[in-house]
Amino acid sequence: MNWHEYVSKTGRLPEWPYEVNYGKENVIESDVLVVGGGVAGCRAAIEARKQGATVAVMDRGFSKHSGNGGAGVDHWHGAVTNPCSKVTPEMYSEVAMICSGGYTNGSARYIIGKEGWDTLLELEEWGMQIRDLDDEFKDTMFRDEETKLLFAYDVENKHCLRVYGHNVKPIVDAEMRRLGCEVYDRVCVTSLLTEGGKQGARVIGATGVNDRTGEFYIFKAKAVVVSTGVTGRLWYFAPELINDATMYNLNQTAAGHTIAWNAGAQLVMMEQNSARPLSGMGYAPYSTGNTDNTYQGVPAVDNEGKLIKYENSHGELIDEEHDIFAAADPDKFVIGHGINLSMVNGKEYSVTNMDRHVGEKIRKGEYKLPLYNDWTLLPPKHRRLVFGMMLSQEGKCRVPIYYNLTKWGFDPDKDMLQYPVDTPEGYALGAAWVSSRSHNPPNWGGMGVGGILSDWRLQATTPGLFAAGGNTLFGSGCHGEAQATGRYCGRQAAKFAKDHPAVEPDAEQIRKEKERCYAPVTREQQGDVGWKEMNYALARLMQDYCGFEVKTDTTLEMGIRRLNDLRDTEGERTYASNPHELVRLLEVFSLIDLGKLIMESCLARKASSDLLGFKRLDYPEVDPPEWDCFVSVWQENGEVHSKKLSKRYYLEAPYADNLEENYRRYAELDGKEGK
Ligand SMILES: Cc1cc2nc3c(=O)[nH]c(=O)nc-3n(C[C@H](O)[C@H](O)[C@H](O)COP(=O)(O)OP(=O)(O)OC[C@H]3O[C@@H](n4cnc5c(N)ncnc54)[C@H](O)[C@@H]3O)c2cc1C
C-alpha cells in the first residue's frame, strides 16, 4: 500500500512505526569497524573477517542494496591481470597518471591493477556470473572463446570486462553476513572518535544515529575503514528528485570525507570541481539515445537516417565497427571510461565517441535533428549485448529502462531510441545519457574525485583510519576499483587491529557529539526549518559561492561565512518530527562541513587548473608550474591548514621509487605471491 492509498483508506496519516528512543546508547566493540557498507565496505568487512578480526559494519541504508553499487554493475574495470589482458598493473597506474596529469591516486591504481581480477574471481565463486556461459555472444569480437570473458571499450587489450552484475550487492552482503560480520543497518555516521578526543590523533571508533529508533551508537574499534561514497546533494536543489534522476543515492552525503576532515585527517583534490550534467534536470540515464558508456558502439543517425560516425583520438572518422572498440594507436590502449579519471592529457587513451564536429554539421544542415540510435544497423548479437545483457545488469537501467521500455513495446530489432533535442554543441561526450548539457545551469558544479589522502596501506594521515572505494579514497572510483580497494583495506585494517591495542574513547568527545546530534529534538524553542529547506539553502550557497565558473578569494571567504551563518542561525531553528527527519538534518549539517572543506581547498589553490577542472577568476593562470602539485588540507585544533604535496609522493621517500617494490613491502601478502 502506498502513502496515498493509506491516507485515502484510513483518513489519517500513518503513525511512526518504530519505538523511538532518542539518545539511548548502544555500545559496540570490534577489532575493525567499517563505516559505509557499500560494495567497498562489504569487501573490507569480508577481508578483515577472513584475517580473523571481529568486524562491525555501520550502514546508512540496508546493506543488501545500499550505495551506488547497490544498483548493479555491467562494466568491471581494472581487471588487468585477467588471462586475456595485455595491460599490466604498471601500465594501468602510469597511464592513469599520464591521462590526469598526475591528479589521481597512483598507488591505489596499482593496487587495483594487482588485485582487481582476483577480487572479481572471488565474486564468481560467490555466485556472480562473469562469463558468457550460455555462449550467447560466441564468435563476436567482444568474447574470448577460451575463457568466455566479454570485453568492453578495448577488444584488443581486454582489461575491462562486461559482467552480469545485477545481483552483485546481495552477493557481497550475504557473504559478509555469512562470515559473521555484525551489520548495523540504518545507522548514519556522525563522527569519528579519536584518541584523547584530539584532531589528528589515532582513530578509535565512530558515533552514529539510527534513523528509525533515534538511538545513539558508539562504536569502539582498533581500526576503522571508511567507504561512504560520493554525494549529489551539495550543489543541487530538490535532492529527492536529483538523486532519482541521476546517478546518486539520496542517503549519501560523502560523510566519510567530512568525518575524516573533522577528525584531522588530510584530504587532497577537494578543490576539483566537475561541471557534470547531473543536476537531475535531464532524462534518466540511458533512457535516451546516446553513444557513450554502456551504449558505446550503437550507431547514431539523424532524422533522415543519415549515419553519424564515431571518431578516434586522431580525429579520424571510423568505418569499421572493430575500431570503435580500440585505441587509434596500436601501442596505446583505452584505459576505460567512468573510472574517475580526468582525461585532459589522455586523448590517446580515451574511448572513441561520436564525430566531434556533429554540432557544426547540424548547424550547416548536414544532419537534421532529432538524432536517434538505430539499433538495426548492428549485427543482432551486438545489439543484444548492449540492449539485453548490459542494460539489464545495471540496476538503474534494469527496471526503469530495460524492463519498462520492453514492457511498453520498444523493440531494438525495429525501433530507434531518440536523443534529447539539444543545442547542436550539446551533442558532446556524455551529453545524452545523463541529460543534455543545455538542461544544466553552467555555474552549478559537482564534487570531483578528491578524498582522503592515503599511504601505501590506504591509511589516512590519522593512524587507524583507512579509506576505500569511490571517492572516499581520493582519486579512484569505479565499481571494480571500489571492491578492490575495499578488499585491500580490510586486510590492512585487520593487521593494524592485530598490532594495536584498543583505546577507550574520550567521554567528553562522545558527550559533545551526542548533544550536537539531538539538539533539533531537545531544544526548548520549537524549530520552524526542516531538513529540505536547509538542503536547498546549502545548495544555493554552493552554487553562488563555489560555482564551477566563478570562484575568487572574496567569494569563497564569504561562502564559508555564509555556511557558518546557515548553521548558526537557521540551523538553530531546525526541527525534526521523527528519527528519519533528524538524520536527514544531521546529513545536512555534515554537508555544510563538507561545503566548507571544499571551499577551504579552493582557497588554498591560488591558480586555475585545466587538469583539475578548477577555475579561479582571480588567479586565471592555468596550471602554472608552482601549482603542479596536490594541495592537502586538514584541521588541527579547529584551525585549517594546507600544504603542497608532490603528485608522485607515493614513489618518493620514505617509499621506494618503483610501484612493485612498494606493493610487496606494504600489501600484507602474507606469503601469497602478488601477481
Ligand atoms: C546506477 C549506477 C551504475 C553504475 N555502474 C557502474 C558500472 O557498471 N561500472 C563501474 O565501474 N561503476 C559503476 N558505477 C559506479 C559504482 O557503482 C561506484 O563507483 C561504486 O558503487 C563505489 O562503491 P563504494 O562502495 O565506494 O560506494 P557506494 O556503493 O556508493 O556505497 C557507499 C555506502 O556508504 C553508505 N553510507 C553513505 N553515507 C553513510 C553514512 N552517513 N553513514 C553510514 N553509511 C553511509 C551507503 O549507504 C552505501 O552503502 C555505477 C553507479 C551508479 C549509481
Give the residue with greater pLDDT, 395 vs 208. 208
The Å distance, Cα 37 to ligand 1 centre, comes to: 9
Flag whether pLDDT at 668 surpasses 70. Answer: yes
Cis-peptide, bond into residue 412, ω within 30° of zero: no
User: In sequence order, which residues have a C-beta less than 8 Å from that of residue 550 and are 6 or more positions away?
Assistant: 443, 615, 617
Give the C-alpha distances (Å, rounded to integers) separating 165 from 27, 67, 75, 250, 394.
36, 14, 9, 22, 7
- Which atom of ligand 1 is found nearest the CA of 39? 25
pLDDT at 675: 44
Flag whether pLDDT at 352 surpasses 70. Answer: yes
Q: What is the pLDDT of residues 560-608, one digit of tens each?
A: 999 999 999 999 999 999 999 999 999 999 999 999 999 999 999 999 9
Share of the chain above pLDDT 90, in %: 81
Select from 219, 257, 479 the residue to mutate for testing ligand 1; criterion: most ligand atoms less than 8 Å from CB: 479
Question: Angle CA(649)–CA(651)–CA(652) in degrees, nearest 5?
Answer: 65
CA 487 from centroid of its chain's CA atoms: 16
The Å distance, Cα 40 to ligand 1 centre, comes to: 8
The Å distance, Cα 603 to ligand 1 centre, comes to: 29
Q: Looking up cell 570531483, which residue turns up?
A: 448
- Beta-sheet strands, E only, within 543-620: none
Give the residues across from 429 on adjacent strands. none
Least confident of 281-295, 301-315, 368-382, 547-561: 281-295
The Å distance, Cα 471 to ligand 1 centre, comes to: 9
DSSP state of 552: -
The Å distance, Cα 87 to ligand 1 centre, comes to: 26
The Å distance, Cα 68 to ligand 1 centre, comes to: 3
Question: pLDDT class for 100, splitting at 50, 70, 90?
Answer: very high
Average pLDDT of the chain is 93
- Which atom of ligand 1 is found nearest the CA of 486? 25
In this structure, the residue with its CA closest to atom 16 of ligand 1 is 479
- Nearest CA among 454, 459, 442, 452 for reference residue 270: 452
- Which atom of ligand 1 is found nearest the CA of 71? 1
Q: What is the pLDDT of residues 413-458, one digit of tens each?
A: 999 999 988 888 888 655 556 556 667 777 888 889 999 999 999 9
Q: Does the model's pTM come out above 0.85?
A: yes
How many CA atoms, within 13 angstroms, populate the side-chain half-sphere of residue 557?
A: 3
218 close to 28: Cβ distance less than 8 angstroms? yes
Flag whether pLDDT at 556 surpasses 50. Answer: yes
pLDDT at 320: 96
In this structure, the residue with its CA closest to atom 9 of ligand 1 is 75
Flag whether pLDDT at 674 surpasses 50. Answer: no
Select from 28, 478, 481, 594 the residue to mutate for testing ligand 1; criterion: most ligand atoms less than 8 Å from CB: 478
Q: Whole-angstrom Cα distance, residue 321 to residue 300?
A: 13
The Å distance, Cα 655 to ligand 1 centre, comes to: 31
- Which atom of ligand 1 is found nearest the CA of 63? 49
Q: Whole-angstrom Cα distance, residue 170 to residue 76?
A: 17
The Å distance, Cα 247 to ligand 1 centre, comes to: 9
Q: What is the pLDDT of residues 152-167, one digit of tens each?
A: 999 999 999 999 999 9
The Å distance, Cα 54 to ligand 1 centre, comes to: 24
Question: Angle CA(611)–CA(615)–CA(619) in degrees, nearest 5?
Answer: 110
Q: How many residues does the chain have?
A: 675
- Nearest CA among 38, 42, 74, 41 for reference residue 337: 74
- Pocket (CB within 6 angstroms of ligand 1): 35-41, 58-61, 66-69, 71, 73-75, 77, 188-189, 227-229, 247, 249, 251-253, 255, 338, 394-396, 469-470, 477-480, 482
Least confident of 32-46, 258-272, 279-293, 534-548: 279-293
